[in-house]
Amino acid sequence: MTPVALSLALTISLLTAVAATLTYDDVAEASCYLRTYGFLENEENHQQSSSLDNAITLNEALSLFQKYYSLPGNGVLIVETIRVMRRPRCGVADIHAYSPLTRKWTRTHLMWNFRLANRDTLRTIQSAFALWSKQSSLTFSRDPLQPDILISYQSGAHAYENSGDSCPPPRVPFTGPRSVVAHAFFPTGAPNQVTEVHVNETEPWHITLARPPSDKLYLLQKR
């Protein structure tokens, strides 16, 4: 089989399982998702690659994604895969170019604040930090003036609360409800650094500690 024929066969294989319901737009959407969340290298790194190489790379990236989320597919784009990709999720990449374990705070007692949060929200966030503390060596207290972790509601393309600088890529802008629900930034270890957590304000959040209804996202548990 010639390289061109093999490339075509591989591309078609990505659609074979559900050709009646998935389109080339779905393949493009999946490719963009895989790049955004670290499963596939950016396009500029593959400008000189052949269509055969790109088809193989996409197949491998899909396989990695499916293994990461315990999905069937074996590198073939199927309905269940695209459905998982369209779920509301955190905006931080699943696969990192560096080890997150090398990015940490220089102390174990940390201060936090949620900008402009009401009493119910503060109570829920305090419970979330208590859960984190039970599973780690970290302890937390609220400090509205000098937090180590600053949480805020944001929408669309937005900026850091602490500095006013634009929130950089690869963080995904909040495009509306049922998309990216939040994203955060790893600490750098720099003195006086404020680590920010941005929460999509357009999502239908359930704030209180009571059991949430099925059409709401639970702020305490979402990560």
Annotated binding-site members for Zn(2+)? 90, 158, 165, 183, 198
Q: Write the CB contacts of 222 (distance below 8 Å, at least 6 apart in sequence).
A: 90, 181, 182
Binding residues for Ca(2+): 148, 176, 192, 203
What span, in angstroms and rounded, lies between the C-alpha atoms of 162 and 193? 9
Binding residues: 90, 148, 158, 165, 176, 183, 192, 198, 203
